[in-house]
Each structure stands twice: as structure tokens, then as C-alpha cells.
Amino acid sequence: MGRKIGFTNRTIWPEYGVYAPIWGYVFDRSLHALTALDTLPLGSFSEPRIEPEIVFGLSAAPSAWMDETALSSCIEWVALGFEIVQSIFPGWKFSAADTIAANGLHGALLIGPRHPFAPRATEWQRTLPAFQIDLNCGGRLIDRGHADNVLGGPLSALRHLAGLLANDPLNPPLAAGEIISTGTLTRAMPVAAGEVWSAAPAGIALDEIRVRFG
């Protein structure tokens, strides 16, 4: 269904000992719409953590040479979502190569309301690198993030992936119809059954999102 980019948030690199972005695939079985999801069971995940991320839907294939304005013309919609990441390596102790072997630590991608990109392209370009977000559990602030953490902004993360794949002899380039999750805006926080998590953005016209875990 698309790709997830990981470790775009430079503030968490020392925590994990990974100092460059990675990516993995998103599958139909790991993709969920938050508007249709009541509770996400955690039983199938290994040491799950939650990450609030900007998600794009592509209407055209981006090229590696595109600047962010040209890149924006390839985006059909934008949304706030949660990626549930997991570690098959106990205690989240791994090397960069391990994360690739584990498909970028991808567990699930939960997508909030989608907003058309083209009608407000100028606004999105202005606000996407500048907004702030609060990650809450049970109504309590757990962490606060900023869009600039993600390689300078989610559009920059998308451009990074397009450039990376342009030089990849094994994996296909990005294509129209793909869904791209651009990396966590906050620290990745452990989650447990019974908890309700929310992410509230400020400075951008995206909806607050919420998920309950079972």
C-alpha cells in the first residue's frame, strides 16, 4: 500500500543509536482508518510503541530532482496518523541493519481524516514544516513534538525517500496511489491495552486523532 519512513526525527537518533532515516513497506493488513477503528488489539505486536506522523497519499510519482513545490503537486491528500512500531529485538536494542531486516519496525499505520492537498497547497507548504503537536495518554501530556524534527519537515522527508529510491537498484520508486508515512514527530512511546492515546496538532489545519488499545 505504500512506505513508512523511519528515524527521520533527528532528536531521537542518540536514543536508538541509528543516525540516518530508514524505510519499510506498508501492507493492506497493517493499514487502518481511524474513523472506522474502535479499538486496536495489541496482542500481535512485539513491544509496541506509538508515533504521531504526517501521512501523504500520492496522486503522481515524485522524482528525485523535485523541489518541495513540485513535490507538492504529486500529493493527493494529507492526514495525521499514528504508526504503531514494534521491536522483535528485546528491549528495543538493535543496530541500524536490524531495523531494515524488521521492515523498518513497522507494525500498523492508523490514518486520521484525509484532507485534499491541491486546493490549499500554499497553506500546507507553509504549515507542514512549522506546526507543533502534543501526544497525550488518558488526557495527560506525554511528549511534545515539532514538525521541524522530521528532517526539517514532512515534505523534506518525502523528498529524501524519493531521492533514496532513485538510487536503489532493488526496490521500485514511489508510485501514484502509494501512502507514505513520514516519521514520528515525537519520541516513540510504549503503549498497553486499555490505554487511550491522542495527538493534538497546533498551527496546522489537521484534526486531532485518538486511538484506544485492546
pLDDT, tens only, 23-49: 999 999 999 999 878 899 999 999 999
Q: Where are the domains of the chain?
A: 2-130+145-191
Q: What is the pLDDT of residue 163?
A: 92
Predicted TM-score (pTM) of the model is: 0.94
Specify the pLDDT at position 81: 97
Domain 2-130+145-191, classified CATH 3.90.850.10, yes or no: yes
DSSP the chain: -EEEEES-BGGGHHHHT--S-EEEEE-GGGEEEGGG-S-B--TTSSS-EEEEEEEEEESS---TT--HHHHHTTEEEEEEEEEEE--SSGGG---HHHHHHTGGGEEEEEE---EESGGGHHHHHHHTTT-EEEEEETTEEEEEEEGGGBTTSHHHHHHHHHHHHHT-SSSPPP-TT-EEEEEESS--EE--TT-EEEEEEESSS---EEEEB-
Q: What is the mean pLDDT of residues 152-174?
A: 93
